[in-house]
Amino acid sequence: MWTLRAAVRRGLPLLRAACSFREVLAPAPQDRCVRALSTFGGKNPDKSRLLSGSGGEAIARKGWKEEGEEEDETGVEDEEVEELLLEREPLLPQGAQRVFLLHPDVKWGAKKQTLTRAELQVAEAKTLVHTLLNWSVEETMIVSTKTPDKKLVFGKGNFELLTEKIRGSPQITSVFLNVERMSPLTKKELEAAWGVEVFDRFTIVLHIFRCNAKTKEAKLQIALAEIPLLRSNLKNEVAHLDQQGGGSRYIMGSGETFLQIQQRVLKEKEIKIKKALEKLKKRRHLLRSQRKKRELPIISIMGYTNCGKTTLIKALTGDAAIQPRDQLFATLDITAHSGSLPSHMTVVYVDTIGFLSQLPHDLIESFSATLEDVAHSDVIIHVRDISHPETDLQKASVLSVLKNLNLPNQLLDSIIEVHNKVDLVESYESTEPNAITISALLGHGLEKLKAEIESAVLKATGKKLLTLNIKLEGAQLSWLYKEATVQEVDVIPENGTANVKVIISNSAYGKYRKLFPI
């Protein structure tokens, strides 16, 4: 039988040995990756693009780069960090899986979901499963429970029925229990009862995140989000070892028990990741202040996952390098892309991570650092997929996340709501008067949207867009070049004047009027 001492003799990293004995015996496969999929209604046709390799293709390219900015954007040259990122266990089994999707529906009490319905959660869970290469949903069941926090999640009667059902269905290879997190003990008990592996939402989303993260920062954030999972797995594995007479004993010569060593290793890992992230955060602050210095207005594009944020940025900037994908969480790295508005004002569009109702907490927390940048933008665009059957619930869930980001009120008031994918809905009429209706894919409605963005930017930055008639002989033009942003100069040779289009702050315009009265 395999023992701890044997693992140490074989030179296995302790953390790995502690966290996943099964994988030590059967070497861990690489993370498999995710595939492109259609949206819930199956309306987007492009299902054919399959991703391969460990991380899929790189899509997070920047259309707009800061001075001295590296493609990798991190500036952290730390071999230890690289090692940390490589050292990870696979979260899901290899090969095709036919999943039994089981949704515990809490009918009453404090745990009852208010924002979202069981059907929406099931539809989302299905999409998550379909995002995984070679995974399919064999059967779906919504089963009510009054005891979601109990070890076996369901009441006795329902649990017995479920066990009979799963045991009697050899075609089912695993169960996706659609809860945010399941304790290691619950997982163990359910797997023992049902005879197949059982996964929760956190593990599935984490796996998709791992596959889609491109930059070092996103990867580190995911590694940080995994620490609590490793910690609870560790406790479980040590309890298992104890049964065999191992985990809590002192390791000879070390003065520590196996559990203590592993906890220390995890703590050290956590500290290292946090330090590396701190370095990256400082660098982001630097980039932000450079951006501010250049006075380029920043527009953050936010919205539910798969609503079309990246497609919209591609349409607004004409950046051919951007490749939107029909996939949940395609964008995990915040990227900036420059574009210009009708007055030729240059702005920066920031692509952000998409939201999901009940996105596991640890993941939200780990990504909140990147979402901090949103607070420094001038305008927010909230993109909605109005072809989605649950578009209203998606909106509510995005707004509730935005509220929790502690954004300044002025910024919250500046939100432009965009109704995307109108091409998928016959004769769509918005019931919200201020929303702008577009098809990012077909390029419909973009001019109106750009005009709206421009007026929001001018309002947010306290600037005006004016056309001033100036004398070419005087000092007006050079003054305007110095104190404002000149967009266009239209010379009228007949009278020696020019019409000059400028973006100018209120205070500079006041000075201009004093210096050059009409």
Ligand X SMILES: Nc1nc2c(ncn2[C@@H]2O[C@H](COP(=O)(O)OP(=O)(O)OP(=O)(O)O)[C@@H](O)[C@H]2O)c(=O)[nH]1
Return the number of the residue (330 or 416) whose C-beta is nearest Mg ion: 330
Buried b (16+ CB within 10 A) or exposed e, 387-426: bbebbebbbebbeebbeeeebeeebeebbbbbbbbbebbe
Q: Binders of ligand X among 337-356, rule CB under 6 A?
A: 354
Return the number of the residue (210 or 283) whose C-beta is nearest ligand X: 210
Site size with ligand X, rule: CB under 6 A:
26
Q: Is 394 in the site for ligand X (CB under 6 A)?
A: no
Return the number of the residue (19 or 313) whose C-beta is nearest ligand X: 313
DSSP 292-349: HHTT--EEEEEEBTTSSHHHHHHHHH--TT----SSTT---S-EEEEEE-TT--EEEE
Return the number of the residue (302 or 502) whose C-beta is nearest ligand X: 302
**Contacted by 339, from ligand X, Mg ion, none: CB < 5 to 8 Å by type:** none
Q: Of the candidates 126, 214, 291, 309, which one interacts with ligand X according to CB under 6 A?
A: 309
Q: Is 420 in the site for ligand X (CB under 6 A)?
A: yes
Q: Of the candidates 166, 441, 460, 500, which one interacts with ligand X according to CB under 6 A?
A: 441
Return the number of the residue (216 or 325) whose C-beta is nearest ligand X: 325
Of the candidate spans 87-95, 164-172, 246-254, 320-328, the one that interacts with ligand X by CB under 6 A turns out to be 320-328
Q: Rounded to an integer, what distance in angstroms lies between the CA atom of residue 430 and that of residue 453?
A: 19
Q: Rounded to an integer, what distance in angstroms lies between the CA atom of residue 450 and that of residue 340?
A: 9
Of the candidate spans 148-156, 227-235, 257-265, 326-334, the one that interacts with Mg ion by CB under 5 A turns out to be 326-334
Of the candidate spans 243-251, 275-283, 435-443, 482-490, the one that interacts with ligand X by CB under 6 A turns out to be 435-443
CB-nearest residue to Mg ion: 331
- DSSP code of 30? P
CB of 316 to ligand X, least distance (A): 12
Return the number of the residue (331 or 358) whose C-beta is nearest Mg ion: 331
CB of 213 to ligand X, least distance (A): 12
The gap between the terminal CA atoms of the chain, to the nearest Å, is: 94
Closest to 28 measured CA to CA, from 46, 13, 43, 45: 13
* Helices marked H in 113-243: 118-131, 156-167, 184-194, 201-212, 216-243
Q: Is 131 in the site for ligand X (CB under 6 A)?
A: no
Q: Is residue 316 packed enough to be buried (19+ CB in 10 Å), middle (13-18) or exposed (0-12)?
A: buried
**Between 275 and 304, how does the x/- string for binding to ligand X read (CB under 6 A)?**
----------------------------x-
Q: Is 307 in the site for ligand X (CB under 6 A)?
A: yes
**Contacted by 202, from ligand X, Mg ion, none: CB < 5 to 8 Å by type:** none
CB 64 within 8 Å of CB 334:
no
**Contacted by 311, from ligand X, Mg ion, none: CB < 5 to 8 Å by type:** ligand X
Q: Rounded to an integer, what distance in angstroms lies between the CA atom of residue 252 and that of residue 241?
A: 17
Q: Which parts of 332-462 are beta strand (E)?
A: 335-340, 346-351, 379-385, 416-420, 436-437
CB-nearest residue to ligand X: 354
CA distances to 241, 278, 509 from 207, in Å: 27, 24, 54
Q: Is 310 in the site for Mg ion (CB under 5 A)?
A: yes
CB of 391 to Mg ion, least distance (A): 17
Q: Of the candidates 35, 214, 421, 463, which one interacts with ligand X according to CB under 6 A?
A: 421
Q: Of the candidates 120, 313, 330, 411, which one interacts with Mg ion according to CB under 5 A?
A: 330
Q: Rounded to an integer, what distance in angstroms lies between the CA atom of residue 304 and that of residue 311?
A: 13
CB of 327 to Mg ion, least distance (A): 9
> Three-class SS of residue 488?
strand
Return the number of the residue (310 or 358) whose C-beta is nearest Mg ion: 310
Q: Of the candidates 8, 29, 46, 185, which one interacts with ligand X according to CB under 6 A?
A: 46
Closest to 444 measured CA to CA, from 304, 310, 311, 305: 311
Buried b (16+ CB within 10 A) or exposed e, 190-209: beebbebbbbbbbbbbbbbb
Please state the φ and ψ torsions of residue 303, each to the nearest 5 degrees: 155, 175
Q: Is 352 in the site for Mg ion (CB under 5 A)?
A: no
Report the sign of the C-alpha dihedral through residues 266, 267, 268, 271, in that order. positive
Strand pairing partners for 486?
502
Q: Return residues touching Mg ion (CB under 5 A).
A: 309-310, 330-331
Q: Return residues touching ligand X (CB under 6 A).
A: 44, 46, 303, 305-311, 324-331, 354, 420-421, 423-424, 439-441
